[in-house]
Structure 1
């Protein structure tokens, strides 16, 4: 364990717990220990997500010469250990040591804690085989544009994070959380692939928006054509083409593609947010993505329908607008803004379907 460096210690602990779960002998106690540790602190969950993202990228980069060599040596070491030792706790610890080694290796140079740019979580590293990785993030209420080495750009929405990995034959991006708009530079020899965890979005030269949710993802194509491939395929989950002016939504293990107003779908890039007949409970949940000061909605006002265009990061102005229109009462505590019904006569009791993405 890294003494004196809590951030590094969290990464090492996350790596150890994560590696245990990759072992076929993982027990219920292992899973419970990981779940408890992740819930203990937001920093723990962040470290877990960073290790999981690296693990996923290592799978994508398995053919890179340096990684292939390191993996082969590790497998040889594991094979040389007596079965009696490997059958206990040695194998998960060996996997953890291997992963920590990869985190610190020159091929990736996982320097998470040396930040010149507050939105950059890892310094760039170029290995001798041309492999490069970088993590970029935006704070709540912040939007930022990232220029990549190939000429592509990524615009991050509020509270978003991406992990970028470029090699000599492909360009990989993992959307760890949130939403991002990708403007991809054309390079037929290196496909540009965005991984949301459940889906892969593959493009050569195009512009598209990806939003990751708890149970799925939304992909909107502004220019060109993208191919969406589910990680797990079924009769309802098959590779799908999404042309310009269309949006693909994945929710509850189904894919749906339809025409959309691209300007409205990407209006967040101008700091705005649009609602068209959405229930106030859903609207507050969406507004809270953009502001440190959260909106809370009483049950009496939850089903009030809201339509209009608002400043995404100004929750107070949004609440005052509703109050001025006589729709709600507002209580600003300084830490949160509480919304409640002003009068039952103005409430619209429409059915409210909760959207999670």
Structure 2
């Protein structure tokens, strides 16, 4: 019997590796002879760099960069031959700020640009950017400024030559444009500390930047899917660095040849912190489901909504790991979450494999 375990991180609680480990323990307690393959996964946000590192190897490069408030911090990215994988949250993430420090009017993506610059200087020619968890809503202006400060002789974008030989891929499941009511400011800035007045100012600021950029380049990519990701960082990569936008989980699964891995599997277990109809809009569990073929896929989550829709989409089982009435604070404790995953896997795997 072969079981593939590929669970996304439970944000603020468990990493992908930790969630996988708990599920694997549950499987082995029921099927001691089973071959359990644990696959760290991420859709482009938290854990994306680590997932690629587990899949392809390489070195984790440590760099001193600026955080969203321009304070010096140490951040890492993955370098593997001529490929680099950068999680923007490592330098420009919301988790780097205390709640009272969150202010997208001043938060900058400068540190992400420093990570990109370091990767280029160390020979990266293919750079994958995991967009997720940003504290910024600066349309990537800070990131571009860091690249200008590093590479432009006369302080102008057009002076930069070295980036012309580098290909960029942004990994994101966000389809939002840069501006408007579905754009970066209106949809994402409030969770980064923006007031309604700030949202309007940020949206107008991004719109003006896109207009100036379009005049300069002769084309406008502010309406492209993914432009609104990470506070508009997606737009900066699309417009200025000719990036391709790809589903984060799809890119990872293709890299690790997931379809080949699951061909002889009997069961796949995937999951995320909260699963609902939005899961079906390209999130990690659906990426797993789409590559599973005829292998049954069990979906677990800390919170479940729209269960019937998830089952209709093709999941063999959809299970909430938390018992009814459990307090959120208790459920978020690491050991509690691990035990709840183990218990859920014992129940669901037995049920599925007995069919």
TM-score normalised by the shorter chain: which range applies? under 0.3
Greater fraction of residues in helix: 2
With CA pairs under 8 Å and 6+ residues apart, which has the higher RCO, 1 or 2? 2
What TM-score, normalized by structure 1, do the two folds share?
0.25
Structure possessing the higher radius of gyration over alpha carbons: 1
